[in-house]
Amino acid sequence: MNATPTEMMTIAAARLLTNQDVCFVGIGAPSAACNLARLTHAPKITLIYESGTLSTRPSVLPLSIGDGELCDTALTTVAVPEMFRYWLQGGRITIGFLGGAQIDRFANLNTTVVGPYDAPKVRLPGGGGAPEIASNCGEIFITMAMGTRAFVDRLPFITSFGHGKGKGDRAALGLKTKGPTKVMTDLCVLEPDPQTAELTVVSLHPGVTREQVQAACGWPLRFAADVAETPPATEQELAVLRDLHARTRQAHGVAA
């Protein structure tokens, strides 16, 4: 079995998670990755959704952050103000898992608008929990499919702060958390350069070339001195992920 690029993105993201992590999960690719980790190598991972569900163990992927499945399988469910005040702002979350519509080379994210804010070309949903997830979690993992409209040279709007304009910008704002440390895409894995904080390709997924990655990115990409190849998806990872998606489609009333 060969993984599709999207499956490879989810699998690469899931591999980063461990039983020790307390993870604030966004809907979409982050939710798939976190639950894949839970159903494979990290059964004791703590997953938290912003609807207030602590330590939830859904059997299907929720369509929204507040599906009943999340509450039914949670250790406990708290009110939304408590979620943001005690648990997120309280500094009890080690990893925030975010997606976004657009990202720049310092892993700042835009999910607000394309074009001017007052007269947008495309009005996106907005920040939701992301601005404070990005600043209050211990570190941030990002999953996004690559493409020149998503990986852009300049963001029209910064919804969630990554590394600003480079190394040291987080500290200058008084942020004590690490910010984005990994970006998992459908083609490669990027990490901020230790000296400059600019996103750098550290690993290419099987069969992907440097040219392909560059063609899907809106700025001249930097590659690490030693670019690794992402280990291919195992039979088990793929089987569990596909099974999860099949259960999810059935549960949401969408033809599989």
Residues within the interface to another protein (CB under 8 A) = 27-28, 50-53, 62-68, 70-71, 77, 79-81, 83-85, 88-89, 112, 117-118, 120-132, 135-136, 157-161, 164, 169-170, 173-175, 251-254
Is there a contact between 46 and 92 (Cβ–Cβ < 8 Å)? no
50 in active site:
yes
Closest CA to 36 of 70, 69, 60, 68: 60
Please identify, using beta-carbon distances, which residue of 120 and 232 lies nearer to another protein: 120
Least Å distance, CB 47 to another protein, is 15
| Buried b / exposed e along 196-212 (16+ C-beta atoms within 10 A) | ebbbbbbbbbeebeeee
Least Å distance, CB 65 to another protein, is 6
> Any idea which residue has 């992402």 for tokens?
230
Report the largest interatomic distance among the alpha carbons of the chain, rounded to a whole angstrom. 50
Please identify, using beta-carbon distances, which residue of 46 and 230 lies nearer to another protein: 46
Lookup: tokens for 247:
């259960």
Least Å distance, CB 76 to another protein, is 10
Least Å distance, CB 225 to another protein, is 30
Please identify, using beta-carbon distances, which residue of 22 and 63 lies nearer to another protein: 63
Please identify, using beta-carbon distances, which residue of 130 and 146 lies nearer to another protein: 130
One-letter amino acid of 1: M
Element (H, E) at 132: helix 130-136
One-letter amino acid of 163: H
Where in the sequence numbering do the catalytic residues fall?
50
